[in-house]
Amino acid sequence: MINFQTAPERYQHWKLEVNGPVATLSMDVQEDQTLAEGYKLKLNSYDLGVDIELADAVQRLRFEHPDVAVVVITSLKPRIFCAGANIYMLGSSSHAFKVNFCKFTNETRCAIEDDSRHSGRRYIAALNGTASGGGYELAIACDEIYLVDDGNSAVSLPEVPLLGVLPGTGGLTRLVDKRKVRRDRADVFSTLAEGLKGKRAQEWGLIDGYFPTSKFAGGIDSRVAQLVSAQSANPSGIKLNPLEIESTSGSRHYKYIRVTLHREQRYADLTMLGPDGPQPTTVEQVQELGDAYWPLQAYRELDDALLHLRVNEPEIGLVCLRTEGRVESVLSVDQFLAANRDHWLEREIIVHMARVLRRLDLTAKSFFAIVEPNSCFAGNLLELLLASDRSYMLMDDQNSVAVSDLNTGALPMSNGLTRLQSRFLAEPDKTDEVFQKQRFNTEEAEEIGLITFAPDDLDWEDEIRVAIEERTSLSPDALTGMEASLRFAGPETLDTKIYGRLTAWQNWIFQRPNAVGPEGALTNYGKPTQAHFDYKRT
């Protein structure tokens, strides 16, 4: 079982140092500390375990070190920044694991960019040696990239020429869409195993600058100093404590999340509990409550539950989402958060909720929202319902669906739209109507289009049961492709391109004999034999 919880004192592959406004995150992968057998993490190559630590570090910087203005990502290994995802790990992983691994590393890259965008921290990739494959992809997730000019170090995306697969964490899309590298140059670069060094790499827009070895540290320091002086925040952070999880073979319970697994039937129930008891009413009280504050704790738990289901429960194809609690309590938390979103901690809490909800949108499982009496699909929790592939609401339910200010744009999908805008693409006025009315019983929710089905008491159990049985009988691959297509109507962004388009291509290529067959390039990597391709173009 893969555990997504960690903390800096337990990191094996990264060192996180914070000096006033500057954090340094140094990669020093321990080659024997792998998540599975059969490979060594040489040359700062990584597996999922390394990336779980990176994701944790980025998350902690936001909550525990809000005073940090600049994050330098570098390596403690001489002449190598990072060699990317470990090839032997990829070669020995199942298809589903490979795809989930790439998705999580992509989400970590997007989390870095989310931090730059929303919290203004600048990420500097200080490439003290070669950055290849996922190593360079990590660099292009940063705001600025500086490479040592030692006659040897280069940036490269060697996946196509060496492995017969694509750069797997958004590299191609970030190349032409984020850094806007000219497409013919991107073509040359992405087919050049050895990559490009200092001067040409800068000319082509692959890096922002380069320094000779003797001036590298100084060059980075002076760029950091420039960036720090432009920033000015210095609040103090809160501690992210370990989540408490009670796990049995059939369940996984957190404080606010209960997961029940029906493995035989290949579905899970996931119930999210609303806030209980009195909630803080000032930013100072929230700061004091820290990570025990409901919207932070509940969404950290949801995040962990989703990752657990993705990676450790691959046969669970459907998740029934339920909520329990008082609508008023959820709405009042949302009201407080919306009113205080200019304060650093409330902002971080909101953008964290947004990230977790996007993780849900991007999870390759079906989601049904089940609205019963005592539900509280209100405000931020309404997003669970809107993120679901469909929803069922018991006809007699009283007013357990409601909107708050957080539904107006604070929790956007990867395509930049709110989930209400996505839902009402054909009738944008409906969104206004929803906010005018605010709160809905079953008939009203069905009438305005917030829910899919509203069975009455007599049909309820049968209808849910049949819906679950039908869904879990369908081809899981076809469902994954269908959901990825239907969930993201409307505009596309860098993120949706990465998850929708690039991931799909990679899924395909990861299955092809030319990559993973007995004579495929991925299979043959590092062996004396050469890959053999079926050259038919598809």
Yes or no: say if 272 and 381 are a contact pair by the CB < 8 Å rule.
yes
What minimum distance in Å lies between the beta carbon of 179 and its own copies?
8
Per-residue contact track with its own copies, 301 to 340, x per CB under 8 A? -------------xxxx-----------------------
Distance CA(261)–CA(24), nearest Å, equals: 41
In this structure, the number of other CB atoms found within 10 A of the CB of residue 248 comes to 9
145 binds its own copies (CB under 8 A): no
Token pair 């030319």 in the structure block, residue: 514
Q: In 3D, which of 45, 48, 52, 104 has the Cα closest to residue 75?
A: 45
Q: In 3D, which of 400, 356, 395 has the Cα closest to residue 377?
A: 400
What minimum distance in Å lies between the beta carbon of 10 and its own copies?
29
**Footprint of its own copies on 348-367 (CB under 8 A):** 364-365
**CB closer to its own copies out of 16 and 270:** 270
191 binds its own copies (CB under 8 A): yes
506 binds its own copies (CB under 8 A): yes
What minimum distance in Å lies between the beta carbon of 248 and its own copies?
22
Q: Which stretch binds its own copies (CB under 8 A): 92-100, 104-112, 250-258, 335-343?
A: 92-100
Q: Which stretch binds its own copies (CB under 8 A): 8-16, 272-280, 404-412, 478-486?
A: 478-486
343 binds its own copies (CB under 8 A): no
CA atoms within 13 A on the CB side of 474: 17
Terminal Cα-to-Cα distance of the chain (whole angstroms): 37
Q: Which stretch binds its own copies (CB under 8 A): 185-193, 254-262, 297-305, 336-344?
A: 185-193
| Burial group, residue 511, by CB count within 10 angstroms (0-12, 13-18, 19+) | middle
Distance CA(312)–CA(448), nearest Å, equals: 38
List 423, 434, 454, 495, residue binding its own copies (CB under 8 A): 423
Distance CA(314)–CA(322), nearest Å, equals: 21
List 10, 42, 117, 182, residue binding its own copies (CB under 8 A): 182
**CB closer to its own copies out of 76 and 193:** 193
Distance CA(296)–CA(294), nearest Å, equals: 5
Q: Which stretch binds its own copies (CB under 8 A): 137-145, 170-178, 221-229, 372-380?
A: 170-178
What minimum distance in Å lies between the beta carbon of 390 and its own copies?
4
Distance CA(334)–CA(312), nearest Å, equals: 32
534 binds its own copies (CB under 8 A): yes
List 24, 422, 442, 523, residue binding its own copies (CB under 8 A): 422
* DSSP at 498: I
Q: In 3D, which of 157, 225, 219 has the Cα closest to residue 189?
A: 157
**Footprint of its own copies on 373-402 (CB under 8 A):** 388-391
Q: Which stretch binds its own copies (CB under 8 A): 49-57, 122-130, 398-406, 490-498?
A: 490-498
**CB closer to its own copies out of 1 and 478:** 478
Yes or no: say if 83 and 44 are a contact pair by the CB < 8 Å rule.
yes
Instruction: Report residue 282: phi and psi, to 5°.
Output: -135, 160
432 binds its own copies (CB under 8 A): no
Instruction: Report residue 57: phi and psi, to 5°.
Output: -65, -45
261 binds its own copies (CB under 8 A): no
Yes or no: say if 407 and 436 are a contact pair by the CB < 8 Å rule.
no
Q: Which stretch binds its own copies (CB under 8 A): 54-62, 272-280, 332-340, 499-507?
A: 499-507
What minimum distance in Å lies between the beta carbon of 161 and its own copies?
6
Distance CA(4)–CA(362), nearest Å, equals: 17
# residues contacting its own copies (CB under 8 A): 93
**CB closer to its own copies out of 13 and 497:** 497
Indicate the residue type of 165: V
